[in-house]
Amino acid sequence: MPVCAKKDRFTKTGSGQTYSESSQKRRCVFLQELKKQISLAKRAAGELKGPPIEPQLLQEMLAYYREYNPGFANQPKCEGIVRVFMKKAKTAGEPGTWKELLYAALSAKEGCDDPREVWARQQAGGGGGGGAEPEPEPELGPI
């Protein structure tokens, strides 16, 4: 019987001890918190991340988000977005199509380019940071 299942007021254990509902609830909460902490520790250690993401794809995503949404322009956020599309494609029964789903979704946003185009533009020296022209340096007069 699961630990958190609803039980009678008193439950006998193998050693003849009894537990009340409140102690059972505390135990259930403790075990849930313990599982959560273990999961967070594994995630921090990299054990729950799944397969590695290609460096080129990650660079394309970072370039895209630097231009269109700087708040998302960090590696953990981009990896999370890629993993969401991997999972969507897998649940749809087409695990090999996740990249195209990702590129199509990002380029379908109003006024946004394909991440591959943004990456190529930034590599060619076209800049890209916020999507706006940089402000010119103020001219200094004679010193």
Structure confidence at residue 41 (pLDDT): 76
Task: Note whether 69 and 92 are same-domain residues.
Answer: yes
Tell whether 73 is covered by a domain. Answer: yes
Task: Note whether 116 and 82 are same-domain residues.
Answer: yes
Taking all residues of the chain, what is their mean pLDDT, rounded to a whole number?
Answer: 76
- pLDDT of 143 above 70: no
What are the pLDDT digits (tens) for 56-83? 999 999 999 999 989 989 988 998 899 8
Tell whether 118 is covered by a domain. Answer: yes
Task: Note whether 70 and 108 are same-domain residues.
Answer: yes
What are the pLDDT digits (tens) for 19-38? 677 778 888 888 888 888 88
Task: Note whether 61 and 17 are same-domain residues.
Answer: no
What is the secondary structure of 12-80 as a DSSP string? E-TTS-EEEHHHHHHHHHHHHHHHHHHHHHHHHHTTTS-SPPPHHHHHHHHHHHHHH-GGG-SHHHHHH
Report how many domains make up the chain.
Answer: 2
- Higher-confidence residue of 30 and 48: namely 30
- Higher-confidence residue of 79 and 48: namely 79
Stretch (H or E) spanning 11: strand 10-12
- The percentage of the chain sitting over the pLDDT mark of 70, rounded to a whole number, equals 67
pTM comes to 0.53
Residues near 6 by beta carbon (within 8 Å), at least 6 away in sequence:
none
Instruction: Provide the residue range defining the domain that includes 18.
Output: 10-45
Q: Which two tokens stand for residue 88?
A: 């969507």
Task: Note whether 27 and 83 are same-domain residues.
Answer: no
Structure confidence at residue 61 (pLDDT): 92
Task: Note whether 39 and 19 are same-domain residues.
Answer: yes
